[in-house]
Amino acid sequence: MTAVVDPYVSVHAPGRFLYALNPLAKFAAPVPAIVLLVFVRDLATPLAFLALAYVVLLIGARVTPRLLALLVVALPVAAAVLGLSMSLWTDADRVDRSVAVAQLGAWTLYGGAVEIGFATGLRLAAIVALSLLAGLTTNGPDLVRASVQQLRVPYRIGYTALAAFRFVPRFGHELDVIRQAHRVRGAHGGRGPFAALARWWGYIVPLLAGAIRHAERVALAMDARAFGAHAERTERHLVPWRRRDTVFVALMWAVTIVIAWFFFPWTLR
């Protein structure tokens, strides 16, 4: 009998619950909030969902300098830049013109345009933050396994896509080896755009040759394991859907409903 292997006993970060959840649960939980954010136009609703995403990430994910930089610097700066840009692009004839924020000659930036612009920036930032719940705590193989086991995606599609996805780091490694080999031989030295173009042109042929060799090895390995010979395959690594996954999804959906009810009706101008 095949035992259920639990890969989620937090090897990544003990005590961080997001790593212990099924990947599909982390994708399903923020979907209603993301769909809702597409339609709202006020400032308070995206702010509430942004705060919710921050709380869940800081509690459930491993807090690294990269995560802190993303949450504290990258997202706020992106939201501010988008908000200012959208404010400048908003049609002044379709906004509240009672308050003038700035004026340059015949052009005037109104408070209504600023409100709409920053509401748009906050909506996009909230959508990105909610997407990070799964994006920062899920790896590709577990997502494929969960899709095959819970969503009944044909394994021929799932594992073929996974094999293709794993070509990317392989290409990076081969490109690094080719660069080092060219550097040792002193090939395509010099500075300037023409030297850089010559270097990159010299990488193409060996990189393609390495990709073809790697593809042949992967194809032979899959054939040796009778990949695609049967409609179903046994799973060595099971990704179960547990009670905690249902609880997480239910809680996230419940909080989404509460936030939507509290801030309803939204300003749909």
Do 139 and 166 sit in the same domain of this protein? no
Rounded Cα–Cα distance for residues 126 and 120 (Å)? 10
Rounded Cα–Cα distance for residues 36 and 260 (Å)? 8
Q: Would you say 142 and 239 are in contact if contact means Cβ atoms under 8 Å apart?
A: yes
Choice among 2-6, 36-40, 196-200 with the minimum mean pLDDT: 2-6
The string of pLDDT tens digits covering residues 72-104 is 999 999 999 998 888 888 777 777 767 777 777
Do 174 and 100 sit in the same domain of this protein? no
Instruction: Label residue 15 by pLDDT band (50, 70, 90).
Output: low
Do 130 and 162 sit in the same domain of this protein? no
- Give the alpha-carbon dihedral of 68, 74, 80, 83, to 10 degrees: -120
Answer whether residue 229 is part of any domain.
Answer: no
Do 162 and 139 sit in the same domain of this protein? no
Instruction: Label residue 265 by pLDDT band (50, 70, 90).
Output: low
Peptide bond into 265 cis (omega under 30): yes
Do 251 and 134 sit in the same domain of this protein? yes
- What residues make up the domain containing 122? 17-149+239-263
Do 77 and 119 sit in the same domain of this protein? yes
Do 171 and 48 sit in the same domain of this protein? no
Number of domains in the chain: 2
The DSSP secondary-structure symbol of 42 reads S
pTM confidence score: 0.77
186's torsion region: left (phi>0), alpha (psi -120 to 50) or beta? left
The string of pLDDT tens digits covering residues 148-175 is 888 888 888 888 878 777 777 888 888 8
> What's the pLDDT at 266?
53
Answer whether residue 48 is part of any domain.
Answer: yes
Rounded Cα–Cα distance for residues 249 and 260 (Å)? 16
Answer whether residue 246 is part of any domain.
Answer: yes
- Residues 6+ positions from 99 with CB-CB distance below 8 Å: 110, 111, 112
Do 143 and 205 sit in the same domain of this protein? no
Answer whether residue 59 is part of any domain.
Answer: yes
User: What is 68-93 written as a DSSP string?
Assistant: HHIIIIIHHHHHHHHHHHHHHHS-GG
Residue environment code for 157-192, b if the CB has 16+ CB neighbours within 10 A, otherwise e: ebbbebbeeeeeeeeeebeeebeeebeeeeebeeee
Question: Does residue 198 sit in helix, strand or coil?
Answer: helix
Answer whether residue 196 is part of any domain.
Answer: yes
Do 145 and 251 sit in the same domain of this protein? yes
